[in-house]
Every structure is written in structure tokens, then in C-alpha cells.
A and B are shown apart, each in its own frame.
Chain A
Amino acid sequence: MNPFSLAAINFAWLPILPLIAVTIGAMVVLLAGVRMADDESEGLGWLALATLGVAFVLALGQVGQTGFAFGGALAVDGFSAFFQLAILITAAFTILMSLDYASDNHLAGAEYYSLLLFSTVGMMLMAAAGDLVVIFLGLETMSIAVYVLAGMRRRDPRSNEAAIKYFLLGAFSTGFLLYGIALIYGATGSIKLDVIRTALSGSMTSNSLLRLGLAMLLVGFGFKVAAVPFHMWAPDVYEGAPTPITAFMAVGVKLGAFAGFVRIFLVGFLPISGQWSSALWVLAVLTMTTGNVIAVVQTNIKRMLAYSAIAHAGYVLVGMIAASAEGGAAVLYYLLAYAFTTLGAFGIVVALERRQLAGDLIADYRGLSTRSPALAAAMAVFLLSFTGVPPLAGFMGKFYIFSAALRQGYTYLVVIAVVNSVIAAFYYISVIVAMYMEEGGVEPVRMTRRPALVAAIGLSAIATVLVGVYPAPYMTAAQNAFNSALGEAAMRAASLNQ
């Protein structure tokens, strides 16, 4: 298929239809909720959900298409479609978890749901970015909305602290990112990823400006994906934010940030992977090890999941270090598996939380299997998937990542990752111990009154099992997605060379 077909008809808004849909939806939700009381926000949630549904259908229509808009600033390809679909699902699950939560906690519905949608737009924009400035725009759109969302529980000091901390460190990291982009522009003469790639595969391979730019970009993305040592904010913010937003940050923000990260490093900077892979190697080892080791001693489940999310970012970095088509596909597959598992686990946390924020201690999970066997079983599935027990999604993801890295000869790295998996087993298993082998704990909420939450948890559980038991189609999707991003850039690079 002619890659320029969409751009050629000069219908620049066609590739961005899903983005437009979500943006309009966000504005409608904001306006519709102006006069609404905080605890009547459920309708707005459904409206937001409908918006996401429309965007999902539109994004689905772009699967298999390739094209560019705005002079190459936006790329519509398998990669953007893959991430946009995953991001839309994440946002939808977050809203399903929020419907009761938001009204119970008197969160301002209009702001809550519209910010969620705006943040989704930012993430989707990063997935479709064709140049560095669009990645920056997407990142900021996503981040600013999430800063506010993290502080939505206004009367809770922990929530306030989370918002401030996230905002300050987020702004700091943005500075790094922007500086990095400027340096890359200085070194290569372009902000367009494919032009950069062409320049880098040519004569200009080593340059101190370029290296400094790379380092800055690494720091910026390191903050966003909470890689160690740029992770300090994550546990506090995850703990303080409203729990559905924590899920959204742990999954959506990571999807968006990694979409940009992968686009820049695995597509744009692929020719010079030798220059950044060793830095990423150190980052990956630190991230996995620190995340897992500190997670072991956590008593609060949200903090535990925060450190576990940090560790999982480390595994994703292992896939990126592989710097191959297989590694890229593995990263995409891993993120998908991680998304469902994490969403489900946070769904359970939402289900167990009461209004006064009891129920987020691991001790509160004691005896859950006798009081609420279905919840406990679902949580066990998520935890085992995190641990990497086959045939669940998390295991398949690890398997994919490990084989990609081994194939590139990173045996030590994989062995470190494996040792980490064993450490991780320790704290995941400890929650299962609490649920199944100890007595006591807090009464869970009545699930029968929360069908939306049940749906979110149930769907996550089904997806976690399905993506693991029958991984072939998702692997194909991930491969196609990554190859289309790679192929597109390569093709365009070739045409520019002529």
C-alpha cells in the first residue's frame, strides 16, 4: 500500500479522528458537568466511556493503515494504532473503576472525567508522534492533566502531597526532555524522527552534542516511566492519588511514555543503539532491582504495587536494550500484558477501599478468600501474572522479553532479570498468603452494588488469562505494530535519500 495515500488526499484531520473524538468528548463532559453536584457524576462517566467507545472504533479503523499528517509530525501506522487502542482500553477501565469511586469520594465529576479524557488525548498523541515536538506536546498534555487528577481528593493531605510532588518533579523532568530535544535538534538539524534516523545512519554517528541530548532525553523519559534513580516520586504519588487514577498512572502514563520512548529510541535512534544501550542497561538493572527489593518491605498495597510497577518498567527496558525488531515487539506485548494485569490489581484495591481510605494495607487482605472468594481468586490471578507464572499474560511477556534480550547476547542482563523475578515472587506471594492462609482483615465492599467495577476486574482477569493462554494473535499484533513503525521510518528515510 502506498504509504502516502492518506496524506495525499490532503485530509489532514482524518488520521487524527480518534484524537479529535476524545478531545470533543472531553469538552462536552466538562461543559455538561458544570452545574452538577459532585456525587451525581456517574452520568458524566458514562458519557466519557461512550466517547472512548467512539474513539476506539475510529482507531480500530486505522489498523493496517499507514500515513502521515501535518508534514510528518503525526504518523498513523500500526504502532500508533496498537498503542492508541491499548490506551483507550486503559482509560475505559479506569472510568469503569471510577464510576462509584468518584461519587463516593465526592470528586468533582466534570473535571475528573474531562481531565481523564484530556490526559488520554496526550497519551494517544505520543503514540502517533512523528517528531520530537509532538512527543513533547503529548507528554505535557498527558502530564498536566494527571498532575491535577492526582490531587483530586482535595481534603486528603496525602492526595495534595501527591499532586505537588508529581507536579514539581514532572516539571523538572520536562525541562530535561525539552533541553534534550533542543540538543538533538542542534546535533542532527531536525526534530523529525525519520530525518534524524537518516542522519544517524549516515556519517554523523558520534557527536558530543548528540550524546548530551540522548542523556537528557533518557533522564526525561526515566522520570516519566519511573525508572530508578528517577523514581522517587512514584510511591508517594501512587499512594496519595485516588486509586483509579493510580491505576491510570501505572498503566496509561506508562503506555504513553513508553510509546514515545520506543518511538524515539528504537525507531529514531536505532542506528546508534550502541551509544545508548549501555546507559539503558544500567538503568534497567537499577530499576528492576531497586523496585523489587523495596517492594518486599511495603505494608501498603498501593505502595507495593507502585514499586512493582517500577520493577516492571525495568523489564520493559530490558526489551528495549535488545534494540531489535523482536525486542520492540516484545516491549509492546509486555506492555499489553502488564496493562491488563495492573488494571485488574488496582481494580481489586478500589473494591476493597472504604470511604475513609481503610483497606489499602496488605494486612487488610487477610482472609479475603473466605469473605470474597471471587475477588481473592481474581487478585491471585493478577499476582501470579505479575510473578510470571505460566500460562498467564505476565509470564508470556517475560518470556518474550527474555528471549529477545538473550538473542542479542544479553545473557547476564537476563539472569539479573530472572533473579529479580524470584525476589518479586516473594512479595506477590505474600499477598496471596494474606488472602488465603491468614485470618482477619477488613470486610470488602459489596460487589453486587458495583457492576461497573466488577466488569472492569472481570474483563481484566479474562484478558490476563487469554493473552497468556493464546498469545499468538497479540504477538502478531505487536510485531506488526513495531515493524510498521520501523518500516515506515526506513521507507521514508530511503525516499529522502534519493
Chain B
Amino acid sequence: MQSGILTALVFFPLLGAIFVLMLNDERATWNSAFVFSLVPLAISFYLFAAFDSREPGYQFVEQYSWIPQFGISYHLGIDGISLLLAVLTTILISLSLLYSAGGDIEERPRAFCFFLLVLETGLLGALLAVDLFLFYVFWEVMLIPMYFLIGIWGHGRKIYAAVKFVLFTMVGSFLMLVAIIYLVLAARQALGRLSFDLPLLYQVPLSETEARWLFAGFALAFAIKVPMWPVHTWLPDAHSEAPTAGSVILAGIMLKMGTYGFVRFAIPLFPAVAVQAVPLFLALAVVGIVYGALLAMNQPDLKRLVAYSSVSHLGFVMLGIFALNPQGLVGAIYQMLNHGISTGALFLLVGMLYLRRHTREIAEFGGLWKSIPIYASIFMFTMLSSVGLPGLNGFIGEFLIMVGTFLRSWPAAAFAVSGIILGALYLLWTYERVMFGPITHAVNATIRDLTGREIAVMVPLMALMLFMGLYPAPLISRMQPSVERMLAGVRIEQVRLEQRAHRRVAVAPLNRPHNPALETASVQ
């Protein structure tokens, strides 16, 4: 029953990381790191194929006792929500390695591969953990390699960015740890024993105040990671200073850990609070969408532009999540994948340009369409996917999110639509400034077009954009049952809330005049 395939998926990159450390040759380092990253890629593809889309619960489950004193177990499982994010992770890590080997990273390649592979273990582990403690361990483990990736291989104010990233994230994580322990101790009273097992913790009865505080603890950690406005300030710094591969992983996967955290932990653990918090989170998401888009529009630096666009796009994901209905949630998960692919691709493209010109100032470019047509075409394709052109992946996600949001709150949906328009505006405008018009700088006429390696990095991403845009069914069918299951608790709370509201409206004012007992009482 315990096949060990999930353990292999999570720890194979770590094995690769240790192996890479023992190599001396630079070429061999890149090659073996890449090969090591292909194994989890293959495993995740196998899991995708073997996944039973009728089953809403965890599959390929593994469970072993780890710290029996606290009821902590090494418990891995994969469901429709984590499956696709795991596939995305393995794809992006492999592509990042492939890209970085082509000249983007020249300093200390061994350490770079080491940290990137450790990061993969952390990311996959956090996605697959069914034990809350195990999740926390992986959640923290992925923080450290990213800190090194930014701090060592970044540009400009890299140390400032790296330290800011770590401290922001740690504030959230440590408070989440307190919430986790508190929750488990509360569970102990209900269950009679200590356990960090997620399915058990979903059923813990909590007082309203307790649940509210605990939700806040979790939500803060996740909101920082997302990042939601107003705790997003670490992101532009981290993004713009990180090396290309770091930005790809950061935007592509790590931010999703925040949204994933809401879906997997914050909402199903505290459904009653989540239902009450809907207006707040919808508002924050809408602010994030518009604010991110407006800031993106005003960035002179391409990479910062993409970074702020992430704030905006993640706002959409949050909107879908807090629509708290299947349409919105499926759309949100779909959009997590889309953002990973499209924004990952955008960061790669910006990185490629930077490698050629050592600048990312939009003003430095113009007319690239003529000198590097392959690059320009791929950029166009990626940008259209990011804008949400029908037929490409972005459209499906945004559409589902809008449907879900509309069902929940039409004003939120109306505001969010403006984000879509702004997004199209700033991306198309940027494209125009970079690609069209006359060549204003002579250097731009002579830069070389994409290499074979770079095309090889981009083609799989473009194929995914097209595939996910045209044929979303196999992905959505895998998500749907798990999403429905995740929302079961929320639905109960919604019904309860509506009934309570009903009673207040229906019972209170009608009772008084028509109550004969009261009337007689007042007469006497």
C-alpha cells in the first residue's frame, strides 16, 4: 500500500543536491543537476497519469510515525489540488536549471545547483505533506535556499532584498507555528490525544475567538507569502534583485505556497472564520489587483514590471479562493498554474534580454522586433497568455475566477475586471515600447537572437500555455472532486450563517407585536 513514490518525488532532488556537492567539474555539475531534476519530473508526470480523478481524497498515501511524543507522523499524500502544483514545480525547476546552465549563472554553479535542488525538495514536501508539522518543516526549508539564491546570485541590492525576504517570511512563519501548536493542543482536548494529522484537525471544535486568532496566525503567514497587499513590499525587491531562475521559482511556485496555504489550511481548518472574512479578503484582493497593475504600469524596469504584475495576478487568485465556491476555487488553482507558467516565462524572457544588454530599462529598448524576431514572437505569445487571450491558458483561469466571484459578490467582480483591462493595457504598452518602433539604440540592432538552449527552455512553456488554453478538461477534472471536498466545511458554515441571519431578521421584529404573552404581561 505504501509505495514510496511520493517520498522518491520529494527526496530525489535532495539526493541530487548532495551528489552535486561532491562534483568538481562545472559541466558535470550542470548536467547531473539537470538529470537529477528530470527524475522528479518523470515521477510527477507518472503521478498525473496514474491519478484517479474520481477520488477526492489523498492518493499514493505514505504514513510513518516520526515523533510519536507529539503524534507527528511523516504523512504524505497527493490530491487534485496539490497534484498539478507538484507537476508545475518539477517542470519549472528543470527548465530553470536548463536555462541557468546556459551562461546566466557563472559564479559557484555547484552551490547554485545545490540550493535549487534543496528548494525543490522543500517545495514538493510542503505540497505533499498531510501532517501539519511536516508541512511547517518543509515550509521553512524552502525559505533558506531561496534566501541564498537571492543573496549570492542576485543583482544590485541583493543582500537587502534577501534579508528583507527572510525576515518578512519568518514573522509569518513563527506566528503560524504558535497557531499550529495551539490548534493541536485544542485538538488534544477534543480527541484525547496529540495529533498533527490534517484530516483529524479539520474536525477540531473551536470557540469563535480561538478560531479567529488561529485563522489570523495562518492567514498572516500565507498572506505574506502570496503576497497580498499590504504585506507585499518584500516582493518587488526580492524579484528584481534575484537571479532569473530565482525569480522564476519565486513567482512560479513559491508565491503559490501562500495561496495553496489558504486553500489547504487556513480555510478548511477555520471555515466559519473564513466565511466571515470573505468581504475583507475580497477587498484586499481587489486592492492588490488594481494597485499592482497601476504600479506595474509605471515601472521603468522590465523585471519590476513583471514583479508588480504578479501582485496583481495573485490578487485574482485570492479573489477566486475567497469566492469560496467551486468555480472560483478551480479557477484560482488553474490561475496559480497559469501564473507559474506565464510569469515564469516572462521572467525567463526578461533574463534573456538582460544577459544580452545588461540592462532591463524599458527605455533602453525599442524596435527589437526587427533584430530578434524569434524572441519577439515568443514574447508576444507569452504576453498574450498573461493578458488572458482566449485560446491560451490565462483566459480559462480568469474566466472561472470571474464566474466564481460574480456568484459571490458582483461589485468585487466589477472592480476586478478593471484589473484585467489594466493588465492588458500595461503589457501591450510595454510590448509596444520594447519591440516596435525604430531601433533607438544602435546596440539593439546587433544583439543575437535566442540560442537553441533558450528556445528549448521556452517551447515546453508555450506548449503548456496552448494546451491548457485549448483543453483544460483533464486538469479541471482532476481538481474538481478535491475542491468540492475542501469546500464541504465551508458550505455548512455558510448555511449556518444564512440561517442565523434569517432568524435574526425573521424572528426578532415579527415576534413582539404578535406575542400574546407579552401583551398580557404589559397590560398587567
Contact = CB atoms under 8 A, between A and B. Distances in A.
B241 to A, nearest CB: 11
A89 interface: no
A421 B174 contact: yes
Contacts of B67: 471-472, 475
B181 A403 contact: yes
Interface string B64-80: 00111110000000000
B144 A384 contact: yes
A388 B178 CA distance: 13
Given A389-B144, A406-B181, A406-B185, A437 B137 contact: no
A422 to B, nearest CB: 5
Interface in A398-441: 399, 402-403, 406-407, 411, 414-415, 418-419, 421-422, 425-426, 429-430, 433, 436-438
B178 A418 contact: yes
B69 A433 contact: no
B187 to A, nearest CB: 12
Contacts of B137: 390-391
Contacts of B151: 433, 436-437
Interface in A355-401: 369-370, 373, 384, 387-391, 395, 399
B69 A390 contact: no
Nearest to A414: B178
Contact of B170 (A373, A390, A422): A422
Contact of B163 (A403, A433, A438): A433
Contact of A437 (B69, B158, B184, B185): B158
A402 B180 CA distance: 11
A369 B115 CA distance: 14
A479 B69 contact: yes
Interface residues of A, number: 35
A299 interface: no
A476 B181 contact: no
A411 B175 CA distance: 11
Contacts of B140: 389-390, 395
B182 A437 contact: no
A361 B152 CA distance: 21
Contacts of B70: 403
Contacts of A426: 163, 167
- B contact patch SS: helix
Contacts of A395: 140
Which of B163, B171, B177, B182 has the most C-beta atoms of chain A within 10 angstroms of its own C-beta?
Answer: B177
B170 A407 contact: no
A168 to B, nearest CB: 39
Contacts of A402: 177-178, 181
A406 B167 contact: no
Nearest to B158: A437
B159 interface: yes
B162 interface: yes
16 contacts: A369-B111, A370-B108, A373-B111, A384-B144, A389-B143, A390-B136, A390-B137, A390-B141, A399-B177, A403-B181, A411-B178, A418-B174, A425-B167, A429-B163, A433-B159, A476-B69
Interface of B: 66-70, 108, 111, 136-137, 140-141, 143-144, 147-148, 151-152, 158-159, 162-163, 166-167, 170-171, 174-175, 177-178, 181-182, 184-185
- The 6 nearest A-B residue pairs measured at CB: A390-B137, A418-B174, A437-B151, A403-B181, A475-B69, A390-B140
